[in-house]
Amino acid sequence: MDNIRLLLWFALLGTLWVTYTTWVADHAATPVAETSMPPSAPSSPDEPLPGIEGAEESLGAPAASAAPTAPAQAVRVKTDVLDVLIDTAGGDIVRVDLPTYPVDKAKPDQAVRLLDYVPDNRWVFQTGLRNSAGGPEANHLATFQSDRTSYELGPTEDSLTVTLDWTGLEPVAARKVYTFHRGGFEIDLSIVVENRGAVPWQGAAYARMVRLHRPVERSYTSVDSYSFTGPVLYDGDSYEKLDVEELATEPIAQTLTNGWYAGIQHHFLAAAVPPPAEETSYQATVRGSEYVLTALSPLQQVAPGAVLDYPVRLFIGPKLQDQLRGTAEGLDLTVDYGVLTVLAHPLFLILAFIHKWVGNWGWAIIICTFLIKLVFYKLTATSGRSMARMRKFAPRMKALQERFKDDRQALSQAMMELYKKEKVNPAAGCLPVLIQMPFFFAFYWVLIESVEMRQAPFMLWIDDLSVRDPFYVLPLLMGAAMLFQMRLSPAPPDPVQARVMQIMPIVFTAFFAFFPAGLVVYWLTNTVLSILQQMRINALVAREG
């Protein structure tokens, strides 16, 4: 087996794989722009509310109301990592900015905005209570009130509580209690109903997400377009990325425990996690241009004088894996490394560990690459020795080519006899490629999906490892290193293969020009280490005679 031919095949397949995953979306999904938009009119809130399982009839929608030009009364909440707007009309969070995550490093004051009530970027939670007996209910269309219009987490406080009381009629009182945490993107929501009457109250709590759907626009040069954007549902064991177009014709309705739903995009998400031990009815559907995800509690009864507290965990922010794991089981799966999760996740953990010591993700990548090279050193040394010996008797191979230039079958047989006599395995040269490719793809997804890499600086002109090198210096250095590496290898016997090998560094340089700089740092480091290893092996083989 010709090692050069295999090398070409693996390089071609690898290039095609990366190109395919870049251009083709797994699902028709909706990217939400990371922009900070001024307040505008919210959509009309007259949407059907979920029915209640076990009730005699499914409850319909509340009466429609005119859409205000702005939240009726905004309650602003600021923590060290969140800037939140709560509308007293519904008592729900209608806008979230992330002040520690700018849209662009050049514009640090323009924060990434996730939830938003404006029609062109609508993405909201709607929570509340249904009343099985009919009449007034504390749903997302009801009016709530707060003692204050602004809250801010103090410098010595670890948490901040915001309470909104329902203005409905006695004898039933209801409220929504939000608890924010320092440094955290998890928000604890308690939907509380207190029965002050003489007869039992019966109803259910719900948490619904509504998000505008727009067709995804794929771009080879845009990192944001590589990742899945859209709704996902976790069933207690695995999570499913939902196709919005399929939901339009086949809505989902499931009863699950330990589940959650989320709307995800590149690096960020908003998720709702109902009580994990409780059976919850999940619905996913499409209404107009929006997809709707709903979690509905079982029908519950509150005796006179009793209080029902229904907790829901909301997560609105970046895909920080430690915080995701601490919020709900499986929520860290939204950091989607694809089929290489088994390799990419440990690789990220190693990178994160190194980063704690060096404080720079670029150096962490270089050190991690060195450790990978060290682990496989013995294996690749065997391959390198075989290549060095082939390079050593290259003149004899060239003589055979001249001798049997008109008889390819005889040339092939003569070369196989030469390989056997010199105890050289030509296929051994493929081993480095086989070892490197899985780590290459794993690094690719770690750098694409891990928000920790977002806008992470390295040094000099590389101020963001998650996007391409703005001056293409790293790809050019990598191409030059690959060219030098190929000169250390035995020349292909086939002139056509030799010409292809000469243009491979150019092809790789062109592809890597649009890849994240961190990925190029990895490949450049790996190539330089491979060169140093091969040079040492070549010198050892030459001294052996």
Q: What is the pLDDT of residue 367?
A: 95
Collect the ranges in the chain with pLDDT lower than 50. 1-10, 12, 15-46, 53-69
Where, residue-wise, is CATH 2.70.98.90 in the chain? 31-56+69-336
Q: Element (H or E) spanning 380, and its range?
A: helix 377-392
Under 8 Å CB-to-CB from 221, ≥6 apart: which residues? 468, 514
Q: What is the DSSP string of 497-518?
A: HHHHHHHHHHHHHHHHTTS-HH
Q: What is the pLDDT of residue 68?
A: 44
Tokens linked to 298: 């079982």
Tokens linked to 334: 């939204």
Strands 74-78 and 150-152: parallel
Alpha helices in 199-340 (DSSP H): 244-249, 321-327
- Closest alpha carbon to 280 in 309, 324, 312, 248: 312
> Would you say the C-alpha torsion 404, 410, 415, 420 has a positive or negative sign?
negative
- Closest alpha carbon to 265 in 335, 205, 365, 176: 335
Q: What DSSP character marks residue 237?
A: S
pLDDT digits (tens, 9 = 90+) for 299-310: 999 999 999 999
Tokens linked to 314: 């909301």
Q: What is the pLDDT of residue 57?
A: 41
Three-state SS letters, 141-170: CCEEECCCCEEECCCCCCEEEEEEEECCCC
CA 21 to chain centre: 14
Q: Element (H or E) spanning 192, and its range?
A: strand 186-195
Q: What is the pLDDT of residue 490?
A: 64
In this structure, which amino acid lies at residue 528? V
- Backbone region of residue 502 per phi and psi (left: phi > 0; alpha: psi in -120 to 50; beta: other values): alpha
Angle between helices 361-375 and 517-544 (to 10 degrees): 30
Neighbours of 184 (CB within 10 A): 21
Judge whether 99 and 107 are in contact, CB under 8 Å. no
- CA–CA distances in Å: residue 501 to residues 3, 191, 489, 495: 12, 65, 11, 10
Q: What is the pLDDT of residue 171?
A: 87
- Closest alpha carbon to 452 in 324, 539, 545: 324
CA 153 to chain centre: 29
Q: What is the pLDDT of residue 432?
A: 63
Q: What is the pLDDT of residue 503?
A: 80
**What pairs with residue 180 in β-bridges?**
160, 187
For 462, list phi and psi in degrees, rounded to 5.
-85, 95
Strands of 150-152's sheet, edge to edge? 107-113, 92-104, 83-87, 74-78, 150-152
Judge whether 284 and 202 are in contact, CB under 8 Å. no
What is the total residue count of the chain?
A: 545
CA distance 522 to 439: 10
**What pairs with residue 28 in β-bridges?**
none
- Closest alpha carbon to 242 in 251, 250, 230, 254: 230
- Using omega within 30 degrees of 0 as the cis cutoff, is the peptide bond preceding 171 cis? yes
Tokens linked to 505: 């560094």
SS3 state at 180: strand
**What pairs with residue 315 in β-bridges?**
186, 271
Kindly report the CATH number that applies to the domain delimited by 31-56+69-336. Answer: 2.70.98.90
